[in-house]
Structure 1
Amino acid sequence: MSDRIFGHIEGVDEGQYFSNRLELSFSGVHKPIQAGISGSQNEGSDSIVISGGYEDDEDYGNLIIYTGHGGRKDGSTKQVVDQELIRGNLALAQNVKNGLPVRVIRGRDKKSKFSPEEGYRYDGLFRVESYWKEKGVSGFNVWRYKLKKIEDNLIFEENILKEESEDYEKTKRKEEIVQRIIRDTKLSQEVKKLYRYKCQVCDVTIETSSGLYAEAAHIKPLGKPHNGPDSLDNLLCLCPNHHVMFDYGGFSILDDYDLIGEYGKLTVNNKHQINKEFLKYHLEHFYDEKNRY
């Protein structure tokens, strides 16, 4: 395991400027001299630089739609081949799965009003909320990441807990914070009741001390940039395991309801009219057969 730091760097303030990539590297805020993504595909990404190097990047200040690396000619912003979910791209995907924050550094970019006029600026911690693939401006697949600024009162630090014992060596434990939002609206209750809280993939019903439990999963995600609707034809009733697998592209669903990446067929109630355009969207944007383990 490396000494990679997921969080602020001691002694570096948000808003601090750096003249060049070498100075940025020496500070520890973003160590690679050239790469835009710092990280390991096994651990996650600790920092990224956004500076207009990719034509598909979108910068909205506290919200960034970031493009993964690869697929360009040297010195050009244009894609010439498809990107793959490997190396830095896979590292950023690990941040989504494990709830890790990423440091964002903005470099000079004439297209963005949020970039510095010169050099590089550390703009704080962002949460990597989701990732997906889509056809970019040049017609090739790119991996994209939704980054949202973390509020100042949300602290991501490594808290070391000590176990006091004379019988064995003291153990260090790292406390990790993982946040996952589960929306429970009237519509989500409706789809769960329709299936009697049984997962449409594995047919499992979870019993708890307070009653049955299931989760409503949106096929086409809500909000920018996907803009899926909060409607019954865009919802599935899933167990927590299959909800996570579906959101992170572990499997998808064909228009005949056959599962891909998972065995079997989706159970569909005849009162539940699923929009097959949303299934197609999920298949094209979230499922990546090349990266199956």
Structure 2
Amino acid sequence: MRVFGEITGIPEGSEFENRYYLSQYGVHKPLQAGISGSQTEGADSIVLSGGYEDDEDYGDVIIYTGHGGRSQVTGLQVSDQQLSHQNLALALNCQQGIPVRVIRGYNHQSIFSPSEGYRYDGLYRIADYWRAQGLSDFFVWRFRLIKIDKLVDLVVVNEDQPIYGKPKRVETMVQRIIRDTALSSYVKKMYGFRCQVCRVEIRTNTGLYAEAAHIQPLGMPHNGPDILPNILCLCPNHHVMYDFGGFGIKDDFALIGIDGKLFRKAKHIIDCQYLQYHRKHFMISD
């Protein structure tokens, strides 16, 4: 049985002598792996133990490096990481709003880590994930974790569920910032609220609906600009697909991963450097 959320009887700040006790109490079951999870269900816990050189720990915000590509002899990154297995588990957490338990170990080089043993430091949500070139010049998958301040209900997943039976309903929430600035409104009006990918027009009881999507995301760590050459007009489906690397856009505006070509108005000048950034950091391959 995999538990997502708090472990009953284990409050935030609980300390453990070693990985064995972490496993016995169900806080983090693997004795060696830094990520506990399944690529079909999500990740329930991670351990920050100093194993990956690209990790960044700011306390309530963590830039966590995914699994794989390290030499078991030197501990250095020697190959690219793939978006599979435990890395895919963390990506599912991001897409489905599943919280993950964070444990810091004494080997992790951070002012927030304990001086000895391991400490459970609460629940975090995975705000986003992307591919980046690491310190050793190999591609790694990076995950931005943000501390959850409010209480999150316990979610239990039974790994061996019967095929038939009454389904269980699990409610999750994905926190997503949708900016509706004058510039975003301008882009949507420019295209008549039609998606630049599928040209679909969504009608609601308050009028037409579309979303302004930033090609290179705003804010840390991507720092994309909030300017017209970095904004697209998309339907909700293609907005989500683009944000999570479901498709990309070539410099000639041909689509990658799905058929077609991006529709553009003559007055909408899209800067290819932002398309290139998206392909490099969010596409598995182009």
TM range (shorter): over 0.9
Q: Is residue 2:164 matched to residue 1:155? A: no
Output the amino acid matched with 2:141: W
Structure 2 match to 1:9: 7
**Deviation (angstroms), 1:172:** 4.0
* Match runs of 1:213-224 below 5 Å: 213-224=209-220
For 1:72 and 1:170, how far apart are their aligned partners in 2? 43
Runs of 4+ in 1 over 2 A off after TM superposition: 153-159, 169-181
Structure 2 match to 1:56: 54
Larger RCO (alpha carbons 8 Å, 6+ apart) = 2
Q: Spell out, residue by residue over 1:217-241, the C-alpha distance to the aligned partner (whole angstroms, 9 max, x if none).
A: 1111111111111111111100000
For 1:140 and 1:97, how far apart are their aligned partners in 2? 25
TM normalised by structure 1 equals: 0.91
Contact kept? 1:219, 1:279, Cα under 8 Å: yes
For 1:173 and 1:249, how far apart are their aligned partners in 2? 28
For 2:51 and 2:166, how far apart are their aligned partners in 1? 47
Structure 2 match to 1:227: 223
Bigger drift between 264-273 and 235-244 goes to 264-273
Structure 2 match to 1:173: 169
Bigger drift between 203-212 and 101-110 goes to 101-110
Gaps of 5+ in 2: 157-164
For 1:177 and 1:156, how far apart are their aligned partners in 2? 11
CA RMSD of aligned residues (A): 1.6
For 2:262 and 2:280, how far apart are their aligned partners in 1? 18
**Deviation (angstroms), 1:263:** 0.6
Structure 1 match to 2:205: 209
For 1:263 and 1:112, how far apart are their aligned partners in 2? 46
For 1:126 and 1:45, how far apart are their aligned partners in 2? 11
For 1:173 and 1:234, how far apart are their aligned partners in 2? 38
Q: Is residue 2:263 matched to residue 1:267? A: yes
Q: Spell out, residue by residue over 1:153-210, the C-alpha distance to the aligned partner (whole angstroms, 9 max, x if none).
A: 2524349xxxxxxxxx866433333333322222211111111100000000100000
Contact kept? 2:56, 2:64, Cα under 8 Å: yes
Structure 2 match to 1:163: none
Structure 2 match to 1:18: 16
Secondary structure, aligned partner of 1:175: coil
For 2:173 and 2:33, how far apart are their aligned partners in 1? 27
Output the amino acid matched with 1:128: I
For 1:136 and 1:174, how far apart are their aligned partners in 2? 36
